[in-house]
Structure 1
Amino acid sequence: MGEILDFRTLKTVYFALTESVINYGFVVWGNTSLATLSKLQVAQKWIIKIMLFKQKRYSSELVFRDSKILNLEQLYLKSLIRFMMKYDFYKEYLQHGQNTRSPKVYNDVPNSIKRLRYSTVKKELTRWIIDSQYAINYVI
């Protein structure tokens, strides 16, 4: 497929067929057992390496950095932050005082992103996560 399609088109196919499935319900199941997430993580890395024509042993970290695609941990973080922003989840935390990792995650998001309208936050949030490498070894 890579001989026919350029990387930009392959990336669009990845978003449509792979990342959309990963993102479906991620807030609910994204914090499941490491064994379950590990299988999904391996599949995601394998798909992206195929897209980039990289060998199986090629560095996964470089694959994600070069492709500017969020890894599983980063996708979970993005999903969690967007969920919190959409439903004012952080305000609920302040009222109930429950001890979760959500406040730390939310506090780490730059104010410039927090001030954006929910409908426009997705692209900037993705850029911040990629540029800062925030989620690497943080959530999973």
Structure 2
Amino acid sequence: MCSDMKWVNQITSVCNKLKKLIYIIKQLRDILAPKDIRLFYLALVESQITYGLIGWGGAYDNILSLRQTCQNTIIKVAIKKDRRYPTEKIFKEFNVLNIKNLYFKISILYIKKHNILSPLNHGVNTRYALNKYSQLWPKKTGCRMVFDFIGTQIFNSMPTYLANMPFPLFKKHITHWLMYECDVT
């Protein structure tokens, strides 16, 4: 086994790449319009953040905190806010998702696209079983953030109108739902 095969090493290397973009964003924010800065962020920063997210997104918070801090710094630089500005507000102002919600989004999209969901059928007609999907409960609590488990759990909590949308429409609406309406943490 390779000694570099640890999430911490992989996340640190991506964070080092992201830190190099801070200077570029600082220079571009005075030249470009805010919507263009957001496009730059989505193209270069968020693509780096989401790289391999379905694999490492369920890692513990102490491992993900470095990447989350890096994302917070980049967004604060992009929207010209002080580094002590409240982090909760920057995501809604910049209209992007934090790392945890990006992981939720990718998990849900993967499950919906590959049709992994199986309807809940336990033989008894209950209100809970209506429009819900079964999920296999992991034996260890550390596995409860694995993409198929957390994706099914979030999918069960979303409104029926959203869950029944065709995939292209679903893809457009899921970000808004995760940002403003979802209460899964």
- Structure 1 length-normalised TM: 0.86
Distance in 2 between the 1:41 and 1:70 partners?
Answer: 11
**1:4-15 matched pairs, under 5 angstroms:** 4-15=31-42
Pair 1:38–1:9, CA change in 2 (3 A): same
- Unmatched segments (≥5 aa) in structure 2: 1-27, 122-132, 138-148
- Count of aligned positions: 136
Distance in 2 between the 1:58 and 1:96 partners?
Answer: 41
Distance in 1 between the 2:59 and 2:119 partners?
Answer: 23
1:68 aligns with 2:95: yes
Give 2:70's aligned amino acid. A
Q: Secondary structure at the match of 1:125?
A: helix
Q: Secondary structure at the match of 2:108?
A: helix
Pair 1:30–1:92, CA change in 2 (3 A): farther
- Unmatched segments (≥5 aa) in structure 1: none
RMSD: 2.1
**1:61-140 matched pairs, under 5 angstroms:** 61-91=88-118, 98-99=136-137, 100-135=149-184, 138=185
Distance in 1 between the 2:120 and 2:57 partners?
Answer: 20
Pair 1:96–1:103, CA change in 2 (3 A): closer
Give 2:117's aligned amino acid. Y
Aligned to 1:53: 80
| Contact 1:90–1:106, Cα closer than 8 Å, also in 2 | no
Q: Which of structures 1 and 2 has the bigger CA Rg?
A: 2
- Structure 2 length-normalised TM: 0.67
Pair 1:4–1:133, CA change in 2 (3 A): farther
Which is worse superposed, 38-47 or 99-108? 99-108
Aligned to 2:10: none
Distance in 2 between the 1:88 and 1:110 partners?
Answer: 18
